[in-house]
Each structure stands twice: as C-alpha cells, then as structure tokens.
A and B are shown apart, each in its own frame.
Chain A
C-alpha cells in the first residue's frame, strides 16, 4: 500500500507516515493532533469534518489522505492568522451562532469556502452552500445571520 509521508496543512509541511487510503480526517485528528475537524457521520452527510483542499470545501471523512497529498489543506485550527480571528469567526461569536458548537468548525470551513468564491451570497446561495452541514442544536438561523453580516460588510 502506498505510504504518505508529508502533508501541507495550514501553510506548514508536516511529516506523517500513513497509508494513502486512510481518511484525511483520521490523519488530521489522530496523527497530527489537529482535532478542530470533527467526526459526525463518516459518510459525507453532516459536514462536521469539513476542511479546505486548495480552497474547496471537502468532507475529510470520505477523502483518502492520498488525494490530499501535495495540495494545500486548511483546517479550522489554521483559520485564524496569528491568533487574530477572521471576520467570519468574529461574526459567529457576535451572532451567538453556536450552542454545543460541535458543528461550528465545519460550518466555518464551509462558509469560508463560500465567501472566498462568492463574497456576497444571497440567502438562497447561503442555504445551498451550507445545506450539507448539520447543526443538531438548530442554530441555522444564526449561522445565516453571521454569514450575511460578513458578506454585507
């Protein structure tokens, strides 16, 4: 089985030693201790594990690590720049767009990808882009508000 020995995560080249078929989520969480990305379903249905691969929102639970090798991977752990929160992270806090917050990292990654592509999405575009992310606590309304507040700014 092919081995993967390094990954570009959050702007850093990190050494790993894993089979290429292992899920990216597992490598991030268990091998690299980047636990910001969460497990929620393992079948690409909930979005808790969302990371950016070359800027595209990707479900890391169903992505083999081999497919991410050589690409730029961004996780929630590297979203803020030197401890400075992004406007989107600030907006989530301000809108209180979380309860247990277990979905929050996936929400932030999906929303970041959306805003990178489309800085001024309308409500329908937000709903379409975010529909793959589940919040069981039901904070959708506040998440939409948070995204809208950033896109309006």
Chain B
C-alpha cells in the first residue's frame, strides 16, 4: 500500500495539471483570525507532507510574528452558538465533496451533520489550496479536516472538563453535548465556546478515527443542502447579481491564433448606454441588459488575420511529430518508467506478435453551466464570483492581468454547475474584471454554449502505438507502448510483463488542451485493454482468464472477479447481435473492472442504412478506492462517470478546421442522453484497511475498452479509435 501511494505521489502532478503557484503569499496572524471570526474558538491545522506535496514550488508563507504555522491546510471555527464551520479551499462542482467532507468533520467531532457548515472556495476566508482536481479532496483534505476536528474535540473536552470540574477522561461528546459518565454533568458546545477568543494550533500527530470506527462517515447521506437545489434557490456563479450590475459580451476572434487588424466600434458606441472596451486584442462591450450587450457586440466590425491551421484529417499525423516547444514535464512526463528487460528478447520468446495503433479524439467537457463571472471593483479592490476549480489560481491570474497584489483580490466560488477538469482557468473572470474596470460598475459575463465549446480547452487527442508478444499459454512476454500527446496518466501496467517499455511523447497540439476527468487514463486504458483483448483472442483464451493469468495484483484480481461475478461472465453466451466485453485498470490509487453488454441494432430511418448502431445494454463496474466514506455518493459518482464515458466512447468528438470548431453546439456535438443509458450496476469493494482514495475520476476509464471489446465480440469488427461509432458503423 505504501508503495502505491509513493507511486501516485511520484506520478502527480500530471503535466496537464501543472500550474504555477501564485506569486504572492501572505502571512497569517492570530489577529486576522480573531478579526475574521469574532468570538469562539478557531482550530488551525498546519500543512502536512501530503498537502505540502500539492504545493510544491511555493516558498511558503512567512512573516507571522505570532508564530502560527507557515502553511495552513484547514481550519475549523466553533462559534458562540455552538455552530461548527470548517473552511477549505476545495470547491464543490458536483462531486459532492461538500457532503463527504461535512460528514468527515461531523464524524470526528461527534456532532450531528446538520451542525456542521463548510465554507469552500472563498479566497478571503479559506486556507490556500492548489485546486480541486486529481481526486485529491478525499485523500488529502478529509484527513486535514479530520485532524482539525479530532484536535478540536480533545481541546474542547479539556476546556469543558475544567468548566464542569471533572476529569477530561470522564467526558465524551455525544451529539454536540459534553456528557460525563453518569450523565449528571452536561454542557453544550455553545456553552463551552461562549465568550472565548481562542486560536489553537493543532499538533500534526493527532490521531484520527479509523474507518472501522466511523459512525457518520461511511454512511449513505444525500447531498447536504439538496433542498436548495430542488427549489432552484441555490445561487450558482451564473445567478449572482450585484447592485447596479451591467452585462458584458466579448467579441471573439474569427479563428484561433487570430490577430486583430482593425475594428470599427462606432455603431456600437452610438447605442444608448453601451460602452465599448478595447485593450490590445481584447474587444468587449457592456450594456444594461444582455440583449443590448449582444447586439452591440454584433455590430462591431472586426478584421482578424489568422494563419492557416490543421483539421481533423491531419491530426494524428501531426501528433506523431515531436513537440517543438516543451510544455510541462519532459518525455515520460512522470508517467514513464524505466524500461524493463528487453523488448527484442520478449518478442523473440513470443509465439504471437501484435502491433496496433489506437487513437482518441479531442472532446469537450461541456459543463452544463458555462463559464461565468461577476466582477466588482471597490477602488483598487476586486471581487469576482466565478465557477472555477482553482479559486487561488484564478486570483493569481487576476493579479497578473491587472498588476495588483493578490491581497486586493477576492475570488468567491459558489457551488458550481460542474467542471470535470474543464474549469481550471480564469479567462472569464479576467474578461469580466476588465469590463467592470472600464464600466466602473459590477459586470456579469456568461459565456454562451458556443463560446464554452470554442474558447475553453479540450481533452487532449492522442495516438497510441502498442507492440507486444504473447506465448500460446497466454503469458505476455513483451509490451512496448507509445502515447503521443494525450498524456501519461494511467499509462503504467499492473500486468506482470518482464519486458516492457512505456513512454509518453509530447506533441504540438493544434488545439488548446488541458485537464479532463481522468486525464489520459481513459486513452491509455482504452488502448491497453483493447490490445489485451486482441492478445487474448490471438491465443484463444477467455479475456477474463487471460487478464487473471497475467496479473498477481490482488486488488486488481478482486475487482475483476467481483465485476465478472455480478455480470455473470462465462455463465451465458450473448444473444444474437449482442456482445460482452471486459476491461480493468488502476489509476489514482483505485482499482476498477468493467463488464459491458452491447447490442448491434439497425440504424433508424434518419441514419445511413448501411450503418449499424451500437446500444450499450448493461454495464457492471466494480470499484475499489479503499475505505468508502459515503457509499451513496460513491455510487452516484461511479454511475455518473460511466454515463459520461458513453459520450467519449461512442460519439463525442470535436471537429475542427482552420482554427474553427465546426460543432460547437449540443445540436452538433452529441452528448449522452436518457435514451443512451444502459442498465448500470455498481459493485463497491469497501476496503476499511486502506486509506480512502478519491473517486471522481477513475470510474470513467473502464467503459470505452469494455464496449469496444463487446463490439468485437458481437460483430467481429475491431474498432480502435475513440469515438467508436459516432455515426454507427459499417459491418
């Protein structure tokens, strides 16, 4: 286990998740806390190794003369009414971390979940955090908050014991009350916190409750503030309104990499109450309402010059050319290992050799809530409400754009309409702030769906070449794997192959690319698990048996067997035109195995009659991410990941040409809908003996290869490119 954790730490951060730390750091001061929170007790947790790792590159916060720790991971405040507020720089974008972190705090503090409030993603109120990505909230933030809560519990007991004149050992917290052994003496949290003004630093070595002793954590709890969402009362970034607020609109270039030659803004400026803002390549307008802003932007005549740019047709050829400008870490990119053994020897020892190429397309996150920001200047102070997975990163972006120190900027992230790795950047916040600065009033900017599809960034496309050898008895003897451009996440194997050479190569991506749920683990699992299926067929061994034969990793074997059992693998043959497929994998400290049943059906009247259509009938996924904090939320995440994965597996693909996206709408970019939904069955392998890993990402990687393998099983056609069947496929 320790080894695996080390491996993960080494692999991270993935190159597409490498971001610079902010340029400024500020000291914490006890007085700041007291000023911010007023009365009550604040418990502060210093940063530990796990968090420090996440903050590499930072020089640390200095300057505190009250000797608070230089770096603080989390804090918890107990107010005079006994309310518990925990503060974290993580944000809520639909992964329901607000619920699971609240659960962890309540569990550790022995208070009901309803008395805990979580303040998230507000740079003025919460400790610095790199961002919400990489499935790190559960493994790193939950233990930080737990430490704060555990220490708080012990210190509160000590204070209460003094007040009640009993020995601390005689007191326990039950349901937010301090109770002695015979219940003759009790105190509430409020009675202990009343009138105090304390800031306590928590010892780093405090023990936290082990999963087997969890009471509130480990239970299925629905979204903590669900009532606000089913009534439409929750205010998302797009819903924020400020006094005197105006609406903004940005004039977008005609193509990527375009430069502004000239613009004529007279017609827009002539419109009543419209203000045009030009600054370098940036042109935007503000108006009292959205319609006017859009109209004004449309009447601005702009001449852009853009270079000739590639299209989908040349993509994979292009990606195979080595990068001319390195971005992020070098070749191997953290995902490369030292080659082991010799590929030549391994191939020589093989009875069958196989060489294949797999590709994945660019796809878009298309979060249902597009990027949005409301920016408000007060003198030289700037406040921005926006949806981002990196509130502090966006604060840094703003500081840089406006040449102001970060302590003059507050970024607030209301719980946001999803991200999937697509909201790491702050362009919308910067644009809104630029417009607001010119307007002298708060400005709201909401990207249209088309802007979101075009001016955000994509999951990297990639080409993967695999060369392998296998003996007739099913032993894989050689494994050479080259990933071009899509990334190193999930590139490592859990198969025992003595001769292997696994590499990631950077390319010059023609489109702007970045993080996406699961990163390159989807591409790497797709290529690997389809290739494994091909090898199994070569030597005529059942694909499940073949996998088990080539791995001794017990957790991988366990999920494979759990999924196969639930699916009924090997028990029955698929009916006519149906097929079964299987895949497995490991990423971000969790294990996954997926079985899929698909059906090949006749195309509908609207589609090409030569083509068949693939319908995913049933998916069984077994998942092991260590101790389960909230089975309900975990199932929800896994089902969601499988459902989202249908898009990338079957039909999602960005079409582009000459610097333009050709399908920037839901009417031309198909995403999974109700009618695409298979029967989904989730098998949780709860490992109370293993620390919890995050689960927002890995469950997405298993579907595409399982479906591709099932298509082969049904039709004998081997599909090696994602999406597999955007318009159905010809048999």
**A residues with CB within 8 A of B:** 19, 22, 26, 29-30, 33-43, 45-46, 48, 75-77, 79-80, 85, 89, 92-94, 96, 98-105, 108, 126-128, 130-131, 133-144
Contacts and interface: CB of A to CB of B under 8 A. Distances in A.
B486 to A, nearest CB: 21
B230 A46 contact: no
B95 A99 contact: yes
A85 B366 CA distance: 30
B227 interface: yes
B417 A93 contact: no
A36 B232 contact: yes
14 contacts: A29-B239, A43-B667, A77-B231, A77-B232, A85-B231, A92-B226, A96-B636, A100-B417, A101-B226, A105-B230, A131-B674, A137-B644, A140-B643, A141-B639
Contacts of A102: 94, 236, 367-369, 417-418
A37 B101 CA distance: 28
Nearest to B245: A30
Nearest to A94: B222
B22 interface: no
Nearest to B677: A140
A87 to B, nearest CB: 11
Given A38-B417, A98-B223, A135-B368, 8 more contacts: A38-B236, A43-B667, A79-B232, A89-B231, A93-B226, A100-B368, A100-B418, A144-B674
A43 B227 contact: no
Interface in B666-721: 666-667, 671-675, 677, 680
Contacts, number: 172
B230 A35 contact: no
A127 B674 CA distance: 6
Contacts of A137: 94, 368, 418, 640, 644
A141 B230 contact: no
B639 A101 contact: no
Contacts of A41: 449, 665-666
Given A43-B449, A138-B641, A141-B680, A92 B95 contact: no
Interface in B365-423: 365-370, 415-418, 420
B636 A45 contact: no
A99 B418 contact: yes
Contact of B643 (A43, A105, A141): A141
Interface in B90-124: 92-96
Contacts of B231: 36, 76-77, 79-80, 85, 89
Contacts of A19: 291
A22 to B, nearest CB: 6
B239 to A, nearest CB: 4
Contacts of B130: none
Contacts of A144: 674, 677
A130 B672 CA distance: 12
Please report whether the interface of chain A is mostly helix, strand, loop or mixed according to DSSP.
loop
Most buried by A among B226, B232, B677: B232
B725 to A, nearest CB: 19
B677 A99 contact: no
A42 B636 contact: no
Contacts of B94: 99-102, 137
Given A131-B673, A136-B671, A35 B239 contact: yes
Contacts of A89: 230-231
B446 interface: yes
Contacts of B215: none
A135 B226 CA distance: 16
Contacts of A133: 674
B233 A100 contact: no
A72 B290 CA distance: 25
A48 B449 contact: no
Given A100-B418, A136-B644, A93 B227 contact: yes
A43 B420 contact: no
B371 to A, nearest CB: 12
Given A48-B368, A99-B636, A108-B230, A131 B672 contact: no
B633 interface: yes
A37 B239 CA distance: 10
Contacts of A94: 222
B633 A96 contact: yes
Contact residues on B (Cβ < 8 Å of other chain), bracket: 35 or more
Nearest to B641: A138
Interface string B479-502: 000000000000000000000000
Given A133-B674, A136-B368, A76 B232 contact: yes
Contacts of A22: 291
Interface in B279-311: 289-291
Contacts of A135: 368, 643
B295 to A, nearest CB: 11
Nearest to B419: A100
B636 A139 contact: yes
A100 B413 CA distance: 13
B222 A99 contact: no
Nearest to B422: A136
Interface string B204-228: 0000000000000000001100110
Nearest to B232: A36
A85 B639 contact: no
Contacts of B289: 26, 30
B230 A85 contact: yes
B268 interface: no
Contacts of A92: 226, 230
A26 B644 contact: no
Interface string B231-243: 1111110110100
Contacts of B241: 33, 35
A127 B418 CA distance: 23
Contacts of A46: 368, 666
B291 A96 contact: no
Contacts of B290: 26, 30
Contacts of B677: 127, 140-141, 144
A42 B370 CA distance: 11
B632 A96 contact: yes
A48 B644 CA distance: 17
Nearest to B700: A138
B448 interface: yes
B692 to A, nearest CB: 19
A40 B232 contact: no
B369 A45 contact: no
A101 B223 contact: yes
B639 A138 contact: yes
A102 B414 CA distance: 12
B226 A98 contact: yes
B638 to A, nearest CB: 10
Nearest to A37: B232
B189 interface: no
Nearest to A101: B229
Contacts of A79: 231-232
Contacts of A98: 223, 226, 229-230
Nearest to A136: B368
Contacts of B95: 99
A137 B416 CA distance: 12
Chain B CB within 10 A, most for which of A19, A26, A85, A99: A99
B642 interface: yes
Top 7 A-B pairs, shortest CB-CB distance: A36-B232, A138-B643, A100-B94, A102-B417, A76-B232, A138-B640, A45-B666
B273 to A, nearest CB: 15
A36 B93 contact: no
A136 B291 contact: no
B674 A36 contact: no
Nearest to B99: A96
Nearest to A138: B643
A103 B446 CA distance: 17
B235 A35 contact: yes
